[in-house]
Amino acid sequence: MRIWKALFLIFALFFQLNCGRPIDSEKEIPSTTALSFGTESTLDILTWNLEWFPKSNQTVSRVSEIIYSLQADIVALQEIVSLSALNQIVEQLNQYDDNNNWLAYFSGEANGSWQELAYIINTNAINIPQEPYQIYQNDGTAFPRSPFVIHLTTNGKEWIIINNHLKCCGDGTLESDTWDEENRRQQASFLLESYIEENWNTERVIIVGDYNDEIQETESNNVFWNFISQPELYKFADMEIANGHSSGYSYPTWPSHLDHILISNELFDAFDASESKISVIKIDDYLDGGWNEYDTYISDHRPVGISLAF
């Protein structure tokens, strides 16, 4: 039944993404392989900056169909402006499922917000033992948006996910000035490391989000060097993507790769398993209008996904 629904939603996705236009039978239809992301044997997590969500009157329906087609378990979102639009995604996802398994968690206020963080969760195989919460709420210098933490259990194991949207912009040079954008991201990196070591030293921790900086820079300007310099404790699962061709980056218009997934050493074995993977999901490859259409109706960031073996 799940396979049948996934195939139906993939068809619906292409219909919606092409704005209801009939498919030209003589046109080569792209393979749907890239939209088949999640599996039954992995924990599948997306991080996705949805740029002032909802960006258009088509954003909710398109994002709903994409999330369902990708069969993600957890979607960490950034730049969520409307709680009502977020709830509409959940309503649409639950229309696709018989069991109403989808839930949303929002870091902002119900009556208005500015680029908040959120989660959309498929609770079919996941338990949420406590409400998600924010940390470092009083440090607006390092964290203009407080990290949003969720605990979950699956297959009897606990996982901790920290969703972030770090300070944007800067000139690429790390300076000692407290208000330097790179410095603020570096301070956030230091604080995240400290929090993990003090609270979850032996737990499975995943730090996701829009980090607003690159991870492949040299030490002198790399604001995440405190993590990178400890390969026995931490790993940027998307480092190979960052070191690859710019066509595969999560933020193509610069181009740069800004959306990252960092894992603690308790997850190294899971990530190294043959069924695990990490990728930037290039939804724009499946639109008639390519990147311009994606940027107009959905976002200026592509989602980054990780599948981790149980």
Which tens digit of pLDDT belongs to each residue from 171-186?
999 999 999 999 999 9
**How far is residue 181's CA from residue 179's CA, in Å, rounded to a whole number?**
6
DSSP 205-259: EEEEEE-SS-SSS-GGG-TTHHHHT-TTTEEETTHHHHTS-GGG-SBTTTTB--E
On the CB side of 286, how many CA atoms lie within 13 Å of its CA? 23
For residue 112, list its beta bridge partners.
109
**How far is residue 225's CA from residue 216's CA, in Å, rounded to a whole number?**
10
pLDDT at position 112, please?
60
> Letter for the amino acid at 84?
S
pLDDT at position 170, please?
96
**How far is residue 47's CA from residue 76's CA, in Å, rounded to a whole number?**
5
In a domain, 183, yes or no: yes
In a domain, 240, yes or no: yes
In a domain, 101, yes or no: yes
Check if the beta carbon of residue 113 is closer than 8 Å to that of residue 199.
Answer: no
In a domain, 197, yes or no: yes
> Letter for the amino acid at 155?
N
In a domain, 295, yes or no: yes
Q: What is the CATH number of the domain that holds 131?
A: 3.60.10.10
**How far is residue 75's CA from residue 45's CA, in Å, rounded to a whole number?**
6
In a domain, 215, yes or no: yes
**How far is residue 139's CA from residue 213's CA, in Å, rounded to a whole number?**
19
Peptide bond into 54 cis (omega under 30): yes
The neighbour count for residue 246, using CB atoms within 10 Å, is 11
Structural domain range at position 209: 2-17+40-309
pLDDT at position 13, please?
45
pLDDT at position 32, please?
35
pLDDT at position 125, please?
85
In a domain, 57, yes or no: yes
Check if the beta carbon of residue 53 is closer than 8 Å to that of residue 77.
Answer: yes
In a domain, 9, yes or no: yes
Q: State how many domains the chain has.
A: 1
CA distance readout (Å), 190 to 36, 76, 135, 186, 234: 36, 22, 14, 6, 13
E strands along 5-53, which residues? 42-53
Hey, is 171 helix, strand or coil? Answer: coil
Helix (H) or strand (E) holding 150: strand 148-154
Low-confidence ranges of the chain (pLDDT < 50): 1-34
